[in-house]
Amino acid sequence: MESPTSQINLERIREEMRSRIVSAKDNAISPARFRELREQENTIQERFLERGTKDPEDEERLLEIKVEMLKACATANNLPEFRVLLEELSSAVVQPMDKNKINRWLAHENAHANVAENLGKKFLGYRILFVSDSGEIKAIPFFEYDDTENSSEEILRNDRAILMAPLAYGDGVARSDIEDFNRKTLILRRIRRKES
């Protein structure tokens, strides 16, 4: 049986996750804006990876993109919080999910996080991004990390391993993961061609 303290702490975490969901839903972005921000982010990342140096203007724009997207995100700092966040997401009828779907999302994102951690990436949190299309809210799970590597090639190799991580854990790979994997593979090939 759980102690009264653990029940209170769990309820406090649930309340916090509900609050984060409400705030993120209120700041949900449109699908068009989401695509636009992702394209800008990808373009900046590609420039950095191909040059091997960071441009201050690009860094400033990346920060602006991150701030805008974080407003539309509910964040969990660890796996237990992420489970509670998904449970609350489901009960908030944003995206009804049974326990199997919650477990699949947990396993999928945790597979990415485990491989990232093993590669030395700095874990920043699990996120649920809210996208609103004609009043319908869609929740997109992901996890965020900072690069710690020194070279573009090393970043790309590690990112590709992270994107394919769910396969090693017996899960499928999301379409967006495959698209990112293919994009990063092309960048890696361009870098290698330049170096030849």
Residues 94-117: tens digit of each pLDDT: 666 788 888 988 999 999 999 999
Least confident of 32-36, 49-53, 117-121, 137-141: 49-53
Q: 3 versus 143: which is more confidently predicted?
A: 143
Rg (CA), the chain: 18
Residues 102-157: tens digit of each pLDDT: 898 899 999 999 999 999 999 999 999 999 998 888 899 999 998 877 788 899 99
Do the Cβ atoms of 129 and 87 come closer than 8 Å?
no
The answer to whether residue 91 scores a pLDDT higher than 90 is no
The answer to whether residue 173 scores a pLDDT higher than 80 is yes
Q: How many CB atoms lie within 10 A of CB 135?
A: 5
15 confidence band (pLDDT: 50, 70, 90): very high
Q: Kindly report the pTM of this predicted structure.
A: 0.86
- Tell me the H-state helices in 27-135: 31-51, 56-71, 79-91, 99-118
Q: What is the mean pLDDT of the chain?
A: 89
